[in-house]
Structure 1
C-alpha cells in the first residue's frame, strides 16, 4: 500500500513509508451509492490552512498525556491520552509517546493549498476522537477506459490512541460508485518529515509529498486502465472471487462465506457503475470494493469507516487489488 507517515513518538524527525487507499465525496451520476463517511464529515468551504479547516469542523480539541500508575510490557510507565474538552480517554501509550495536536498535525500540507495544488474539502472524526481526518482534493482526474472517472485525493489523518503516526494516504476516487479503493504499488520509498521546521523546509516537504503523489497516481492510471482493458470470463471471475474469499477449513458452516461470494458476483453484474466495467479485471476489483464499503458491515458508521480505511475492509481490498493485477500477467 502506499502511505506517508508523519509525527509520532520521536518529536523531531520520523521516517515513513508510502501507502494508498481511497474514498469518494460526490458524483455526477444520479444513482451513486452514498459514501460511507457522509454522516461523519463536515464539508469545508476552501479554508486556506489545516488549522482553519479543523476549527470549522470542531476538531481543534487538545490532547494531554497523564500517568496511569501502571507498567507496560517494557517496564515503562503507562500513560493515558486524554481529550481535554470531553475527558474521554483515547488510548494507552508509553512514556516516550508525544501527542501531535490536531491544529499542528497537518501544517506541513498548507503550502500546497497556498499554491492551489490542493483543496481541503471535508474533515471528520472517528470514534470518540481517537483519529481525525481531512480529505484534500488534487487537481485533475483519471479517465479509465474512456469514461469511467476517478478523481485524485489525499487523506490526511492524525491519531491519539497510539495506533499510528500522522499519515497521508493516496486516495483515488471512482466517482460513479463511492467505492474506496486500496492498492499496493511499486516504487514505495522512505522520506523524512519533521513537524518542527521553518517555512522553507515545510515548503520543500510539501512539494516532496506532491511529487510522490503524482508519481503514484501516474502508476495507478496505467494499472487501472490496463485492468479495464483486460477481459475476463465468467469462470475467471468465479476463480478470482474463490481465491479472494476461500472456504474456511476450520469452520463447519460455509454458508456465510458462500453468501459473501454470491454478493460480490452480483455486484459485478449489477452494482453501481457495473455497466462501465463488467467483464473486466477492473470490474472484478470494484465489485469487491463496493461489497466492502456498502454491504460488509452493519456496524456504526464510524466503526465501519475505520474498517474501510484502516482495518479488515482495507485488507480485503488490498488482496483484491493484488489478485486483479495477477490477471494482467
Structure 2
C-alpha cells in the first residue's frame, strides 16, 4: 500500500497551464495578460492536383493565428464562424463586473491556441461538515479548431486537496454550450443563465455532500465502489459482473489499488467529514486524477480532469454515490 500522507497537494488543474489574472481585470485585459490577444482567421483549403491545377474549396476551411501562422484547425465547415478570444468572453464581463466578489482568476491556452480558457471565481463556498470548504468557479472555454463550442461550466474545487468535483445532477447539467454562430444577445443570455444554474447547483451540492458526509461506508464497499467507478470498458464490466476478478487486467487492478490507497491514507481523507464516509469515497476518485495519476504532460492532465476520462470517472463515482446514499450496499451490485 502506498502512503499518501506526505504528498504535496498539486495546484488546481488550470493553474498548471494558465496565467494568474490581476484583480478586477476585464476579460479583454485577462486575454492580454495571458497572451491570448491574438487574432484568428478562416481561409478555404487548397487542393493541389497531380495535373498542377489548384482548386480552392468552397466547403472545406482551415483556421490559423495571424501572429504565429499556426494552423488551429484544418477540417472546418463553411458555416463555422470564427469568434475572437476577446469577443468570446466579453459577454461574461456583464455578470463578473456586476456581481461583487466574482473575479477572473486564470486564463490560458492548449496546444497552439486552438482551445483557450478563463476561470471566474465565485465569492461563496460550499461547506461540508464543520470546516471542509469547496471553492466555486465558472470555467469558460472556446475553441478555434471547429470541434467545440463556447462552454461555460460550474466547477467546484475542494480547497483541502484542489480536487475538481465537477459533476452533473440528474435534473441539471453543470454546463451550457454556445454555438460559434450564436448572436451576442444569445451569449449574454446564456451567461446570466449559467449564473442562475450555478446558484442552484451550489445549494443542491452542499446538501448532497453534507448528506454523504454522514453516510458511513465500509472499506470493502469503498473498494467495490471504486472498482465500479473505474470500469474502462464492457469487457471489464462483464468480468466484474460474473465474479471473474482473477481475469481483470493488472493495469485496471493497479489503478483501483491506487485510488483505494489514496482513499485510506491521504491527508485530505482524514477529515471527519471524509474518513470512512461516502463523501470521502467520491473524493478518492477525484483526488486520484488530481494528485496521484501520472500523465503524459500537463495538457493531458488538464483535458482529462476538465472534460475527459477524469471527469467521466468522477461523474460515474458521483452517480454511484447517489445510488449508495439511497439504497446502501445494493447499489454496488451488478445485475
Shared topology, TM-score over 0.5? yes
- Which residue number corresponds to residue 264 of structure 1? 259
Q: Distance in 1 between matches of 2:114 and 2:200?
A: 31
- Which of 139, 145, 154 matches 1:161? 145
Any gaps of 5 or more consecutive residues in structure 1?
1-29
Q: CA deviation at 1:288?
A: 0.7
Change (3 A) 1:244 1:209: closer
Does the Cα contact within 8 Å between 1:36 and 1:294 map onto a contact in 2? no
Query: In structure 2, how many angstroms separate the alpha carbons of the residues matched to 1:120 and 1:238?
Result: 39
Report matched runs for 1:1-329 at 5 Å. Answer: 32-69=9-46, 77-91=59-73, 92-117=75-100, 118-188=102-172, 194-197=182-185, 202=188, 206-246=191-231, 249=235, 254-276=249-271, 277-329=274-326
Normalised by the length of structure 1, the TM-score is: 0.82
Change (3 A) 1:167 1:247: closer
Larger relative contact order (CA 8 Å, sep ≥ 6): 1
Q: Deviations over 1:2-32 (max 9, x none)?
A: xxxxxxxxxxxxxxxxxxxxxxxxxxxx953
Q: CA deviation at 1:36?
A: 3.2
- Pair member with larger Rg: 2
What is the CA–CA distance in structure 2 between the aligned matches of 1:267 and 1:119, rounded to whole Å? 33
C-alpha deviation, 1:310, in angstroms: 1.5
The question of whether the paired residues in 1 share the 8 Å contact of 2:167 and 2:311 is answered with no
Structure 1, residues 227-251: CA drift from partner, whole Å, max 9, x if none? 1111101121122012123486479
Q: What is the alpha-carbon distance in structure 2 between the residues aligned to residue 213 and residue 313 of structure 1? A: 21
CA offset digits 1:261-311 (Å, max 9, x no partner):
110111101124101212111111111111112333321101221121121
Q: 1:100 to 1:273 in 2, by over 3 A?
A: same
1:36-74 alpha-carbon deviations (Å, 9 max, x no partner): 33331111112442111111111111111121236xxxx
Q: Unpaired runs of 5+ in structure 2?
A: 1-6, 48-56, 240-246, 327-335
RMSD between aligned alpha carbons?
A: 2.6
State whether residues 182 and 321 of structure 1, in contact with CA within 8 Å, keep that contact through their aligned partners in structure 2.
no
SS in 2 for 1:38: helix
3-state SS of paired residue (1:298): coil
Contact 1:132 1:157 in 2 (8 A): yes
1:66-91 residue CA offsets vs partner (Å, 9 max, x unmatched) = 21236xxxx97221111221111112
Q: 1:26 corresponds to which residue? A: none
Regions of 4+ moved over 6 Å: 189-193, 250-253
> How many residues of Structure 1 are paired with residues of Structure 2 in the alignment?
293
Find the residue that maps to 2:122 and give its secondary structure: strand
Deviation at 1:182, TM superposition (A): 2.6
